[in-house]
Structure 1
Amino acid sequence: MIAAHADWSTDPRKRWITRACRSGGAWRAAAPELVGDTAGLLPRLLAAGLPVALGLDLPLGLPRDYAAARREADFPAFLRGLAGRPEFFVVSPTLATVSPERPFYPARGIAGMTRAAHAAALGLAGPLGLSRWCDRATAERPAGAPLFWTLGANQSGKAAIAAWRDWIVPALTAAAPIRLWPFEGGLHALLAPGTVVLAEVYPAEALRHCGLTLGGSKRAQAPRRALAPALRAAMAARRVTPDAALAAMVQAGFGADAAGEDRFDSVIGLLGLIGVLDGARPDFVPDDPWIRRWEGWVLGQTALPRGPA
């Protein structure tokens, strides 16, 4: 089979994918490359006719408090229904234009803006309703940003817009052979020749699953270069052999340019995905119908958030 992980961004220059092919129980991984034309991504991944597992560093799912008012059966049906609705993806500059049909906010920083006001504009009871359960803090990591929030370094809303609008929704509309984990089943059950299974994979989560710790910011080359010996050991533990270009990139800390952190994340995400594919981590999803139908989960995550769902 083929495993791949794409570190997604609104900027195509920071959108990198790392691929590996499994044969005889071991993996051969290539160096990260730019995703390039999104319309050609699925055909490139499916060219060999093998099952493909594709990890994506972006949200796949909706908060349950928002989903409770939807008429669709589940998140995949919701995505398909976004075809021909470009207004859904327009980020509101002020709360005056925020609504369930235009939920992303804010387009820029505004004095006095709060997530509580954002939640109220969406008809939610409070700011906690903006988050999926898997976005909330666990004993292992802090909380992630809510899906519809689009401001700050920690936000993921813009990546969701770029991937959903420009790639996933058009692919679903065209009946492309893609399946969405965990909404349509377990990871291994969904894998089939000629099919791409999309799963939400966070490099920061995968880094911990691989037993790796950066001694500084991932945005700097030096900490990434210092991690090279431990990263090579983690790859060996996952039975992943890098090709010459990837081995050189690991040794060099993924380069000194601004895209170095994105290439790094694409490799770490791939190792997290492979860990679940090969059983080093469980294909765990909480037994909660809201999570399985609407909210989704982070692949490989077993730590439950603090507090009730």
Structure 2
Amino acid sequence: MAAHADWSLDPRKRWISVARLSGGAWRAEAPVPVGDVAALLPRLLKGGGPVALGLDLPLGLPREYARHLPEPDFPAFLRGLAARPGFFAVSAGLDTVSRERPFYPARGVRGMTRAAHAAALGMDGPLGLSRLCDRATAERPAGAPLFWTLGANQSGKAAIAAWRDWLLPALGAGLPVSLWPFEGGLRALLAPGRAALAEVYPAEALRQCGLRLPGSKRAQGPRRALAPALRAAMDARRVLSSPALAAAVADGFGADAAGEDRFDSVVGLLGLVGVLDGARPDFVPDDPWVRRWEGWVLGQTALPRG
């Protein structure tokens, strides 16, 4: 099974798309709400087969932060957060930012900058807040740093919601979960009854599929206009749509605020399937910081500029 979850702090904007391999093709269903996060992995693992789960959220830490940690790698650090609930508290001001409490800012304040945030964490400059995979490449602009929690271009809130409320309880309960790329290649992690989790960004997957929206993904019109090209990309990935998914694609995934999230969950699924089927390489830079601490975006082959 392949699945991709578009995650958010707001449970109403968490949607998941699922596809099952059958007869040489992936049979995909329409996106559905993630729902109860505690039930997500048991539900996906119910059939006993291997599960590849893409997540639209950071899995990893910037090396400038990780270099001060005693743990050997990110999975060990993540498991240890169960004993450090203060880690997830978002600071309102720089006076409470520390390595034990790195997320900032809780709200907009005058004079806040990423440079000041980095300095409060003991980093030399704002670039230290970013992982290698967050930095701009020749193909796309930079992504938001993990610990930044303000504005539309941020991923910190989704990371907090997923790590604290879902991943930590799942790991604590002993659910069979592996984290790509820290614990191995994606296909090597796919074992019966186990879920391999990988960071998949819909914006990156969109480029990997050769797709380009004719406008904002937040509007139904551009998503609807992309429908023919999206169907062609699905055909190229051997993804067969259920009637409900075909209708959603044709309609641009609806006019409500969650339309962009349903769209992202399907695009992310296509990116994941592309790597599973070999259309895209399971590439990870040969960098020990990336492989042990920072992680990588599945299917991304472009390295940062410079």
Q: TM-score range by the shorter chain?
A: over 0.9
Aligned to 1:76: 75
Equivalent residue for 2:186? 187
Structure-2 residue corresponding to 1:156: 155
State the identity as a percent: 81
Q: Partner residue of 1:251? A: 250
Counterpart-to-counterpart distance in 2, 1:238 and 1:116: 42
Paired position in structure 2 for 1:294: 293
Give the CA deviation at 1:173: 1.5
Distance 1:159 1:42 in 2: 18
Query: What's the CA shift for 1:123?
Result: 1.1
TM-score, normalised on structure 1?
0.98
Following TM superposition, the consecutive aligned residue runs of length 4 or more in structure 1 with deviations greater than 2 angstroms are none
Superposition deviation, residue 172 in structure 1: 1.1
Structure 1 residue runs without a partner (length 5+): none
Q: Deviations over 1:55-102 (max 9, x none)?
A: 000000000010000000100000000003211001000001100000
Instruction: State the one-letter code of the partner of 1:236.
Output: D
Within-5 A mapping of 1:1-309? 2-307=1-306
- The whole-number CA distance in structure 1 between the counterparts of 2:245 and 2:9 is 25
2:127 and 2:230 map into 1 onto residues whose CA distance is: 36
Q: Equivalents in 2 of 1:262, 1:158: separation in Å?
A: 16
Q: For residues 215-238 of structure 1, give each alpha carbon's deviation from its aligned partner in whole angstroms, at most 9, with x where no partner exists.
A: 000000000001111111100000
Structure 1: which amino acid aligns with 2:282?
D
SS in 1 for 2:82: coil
Deviation at 1:126, TM superposition (A): 1.1
What letter is aligned with 1:171? A
Structure 1 residue 169 displacement after superposition: 1.1
**Once the two structures are superposed, what CA deviation does each residue of 1:8-39 show, in whole Å capped at 9, x if it has no partner?**
00000000000000022210000000000000
Provide the rounded CA distance (Å) in 1 between the counterparts of 2:160 and 2:5: 15
CA RMSD of aligned residues (A): 0.5
- Structure 1 CA distance, aligned partners of 2:207 and 2:117? 32
TM-score, normalised by the number of residues in structure 2: 0.99
Q: How many residues align?
A: 306
